[in-house]
């Protein structure tokens, strides 16, 4: 079977033809930048769940066909390509604001559009990886817009993350007797240390952390994730080219904010808080999240551990992911 034939099968499988369904795409202007939005669900009456993707500049929609169909039975799921990401890259130039605060403001404007388009008052917000930075900030600033916040691969402290990732890579390479990995890691010096955290240094550290299961548990590679974009019914070959373009534009300008981010002291929330954590996650390590979440105060808070997942629990354990959302998040939508 060719990729085109496989994509056609997946597109047919992903259709939601029932009359109560919603399946729409739109270019929506958020903060002066046209951004691509997808809204899908089997029943318009279901609560709305906005997915704030990771990266930066790694859209969630191209890989969503792996895990999202079950979620669409219970939620109207909104994916959007953030400014500078994927199909939203055309609206970005050197003068475009790519600050964290601007991304959060875009989310506020997106929710306002959804309120008008779908007739809802509040939404659930699922922030994954980089998107969890935006999510936790929005949960603090505008709890009135949310019925719950769900963090997946939560980022709490950029500096702590780098230290944890490096320690995992060194520990694993030592146990494995991997002299190549140890030589490359030791060449990074006192990581993260006081030297500038360049993309090149980060790539070396994370390559070995991910080799030892830090992105997908028990896997040295995650080709199922990266290559799944080529079978996406939502992204053409030309669209997929935009992902790399967006990353090359966005990452150098956003990286310093990601690495410096620290929400360790932001522990008071007026919205239900849920954390879905991969036990083996060493892309956004869970130790800083656990320390933070122990101190969080909120109307309610819940944690679900994915014992056989790392950073991509929605892909690695999709059934448990759906059950987690339905049991821990969905009850808040009706309150």
Q: Three-state secondary structure along 94-152? A: CCCCCCHHHHHHHHHHHHHHHHHHHCCCCEEEEEECHHHHHHHHHHHHCHHHEEEEEEE
Tokens of 95: 């003068």
| Residues 277-319 pLDDT 10s | 999 999 999 999 999 999 999 999 999 999 999 999 999 999 9
Q: Please give the Cα distance from 218 to 14 (Å, whole number).
A: 29
Torsion sign across C-alpha atoms 140, 119, 25, 64: positive
In DSSP terms, which residues pair with 3 in a beta bridge? none
Give, as one character, the DSSP assignment of residue 198.
Answer: -
125 CB-contact burial (10 Å; exposed 0-12 / middle 13-18 / buried 19+): buried
Q: Please give the Cα distance from 178 to 130 (Å, whole number).
A: 30
Best CA proximity match to 83, nearest among 130, 29, 124, 148: 29
pLDDT of residue 189 exceeding 80, the answer is yes
pLDDT at 199: 82
For the segment 1-25, the average pLDDT, to the nearest whole number, is 86
For the segment 223-240, the average pLDDT, to the nearest whole number, is 89
Tokens of 16: 């939601």
Q: Please give the Cα distance from 107 to 141 (Å, whole number).
A: 12
Provide long-range contacts, Cβ within 8 A and 24+ apart, for 173-177. Answer: 173/208, 173/212, 176/212
Question: Which residue, chain included where needed, has tokens 């122990």?
Answer: 294
| Residues 110-162 pLDDT 10s | 999 999 999 999 999 999 999 999 999 999 999 999 999 999 999 999 889 99
Maximum Cα–Cα distance across the chain: 60
Supply φ then ψ for residue 76, to 5 degrees: -90, 115
Torsion sign across C-alpha atoms 83, 105, 141, 259: positive
| Residues 36-89 pLDDT 10s | 999 999 999 999 999 999 988 999 999 999 999 999 999 999 999 999 999 999
Confidence of residue 1 (pLDDT cuts 50, 70, 90): low
Confidence of residue 5 (pLDDT cuts 50, 70, 90): confident
pLDDT at 212: 97
Quote the pTM value: 0.95
Asked whether the beta carbons of 225 and 216 are under 8 A apart, the reply is yes
Strands 273-278 and 123-128: unpaired
Strands 33-41 and 48-52: unpaired
Give, as one character, the DSSP assignment of residue 193.
Answer: S
Containing 314, the helix (H) or strand (E) segment is helix 313-316
163 CB-contact burial (10 Å; exposed 0-12 / middle 13-18 / buried 19+): middle
Q: Please give the Cα distance from 279 to 290 (Å, whole number).
A: 11
Strands 76-80 and 48-52: parallel
Confidence of residue 181 (pLDDT cuts 50, 70, 90): very high
Tokens of 74: 């219970």
Supply φ then ψ for residue 5, to 5 degrees: -65, -40
Report the C-alpha dihedral over residues 30, 33, 34, 38, rounded to 10 degrees.
-50
């Amino acid at each position: 079977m060719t990729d085109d034939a496989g994509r056609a099968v997946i597109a047919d499988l992903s259709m939601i033809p029932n009359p109560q369904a919603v399946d729409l795409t739109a270019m929506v202007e958020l903060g002066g930048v046209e951004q691509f939005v997808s809204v899908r669900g089997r029943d318009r009456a279901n609560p709305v769940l906005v997915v704030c993707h990771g990266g930066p500049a790694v859209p969630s929609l191209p890989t969503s066909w792996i895990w999202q169909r079950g979620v669409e039975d219970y939620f109207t799921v909104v994916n959007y390509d953030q400014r500078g990401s994927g199909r939203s890259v055309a609206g970005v130039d050197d003068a475009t604001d790519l600050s964290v605060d601007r991304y959060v403001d875009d989310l506020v404007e997106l929710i306002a559009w959804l309120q008008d388009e779908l007739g809802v008052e509040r939404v659930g917000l699922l922030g994954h990886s980089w998107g969890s930075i935006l999510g936790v900030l929005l949960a603090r600033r505008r709890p009135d817009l949310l019925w719950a916040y769900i963090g997946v691969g939560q980022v709490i402290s950029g500096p702590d993350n780098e230290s944890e990732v490096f320690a995992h890579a060194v520990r694993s390479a030592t146990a494995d007797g991997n002299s190549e990995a140890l030589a490359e890691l030791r060449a990074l010096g006192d990581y993260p240390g006081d030297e500038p955290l360049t993309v090149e240094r980060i790539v070396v550290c994370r390559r070995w952390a991910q080799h030892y299961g830090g992105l997908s548990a028990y896997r040295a590679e995650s080709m199922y994730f990266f290559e799944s974009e080529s079978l996406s019914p939502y992204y053409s070959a030309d669209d997929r080219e935009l992902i790399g373009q967006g990353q090359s534009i966005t990452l150098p300008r956003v990286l310093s904010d990601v690495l410096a981010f620290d929400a360790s002291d932001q522990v008071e929330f007026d919205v239900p808080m849920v954390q879905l954590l991969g036990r083996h996650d060493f892309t956004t390590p869970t130790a800083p999240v656990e320390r933070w979440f122990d101190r969080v105060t909120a109307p309610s808070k819940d944690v679900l551990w994915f014992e056989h997942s790392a950073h991509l629990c929605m892909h690695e354990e999709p059934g448990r992911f759906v059950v987690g959302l339905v049991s821990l998040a969905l009850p808040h939508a009706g309150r």
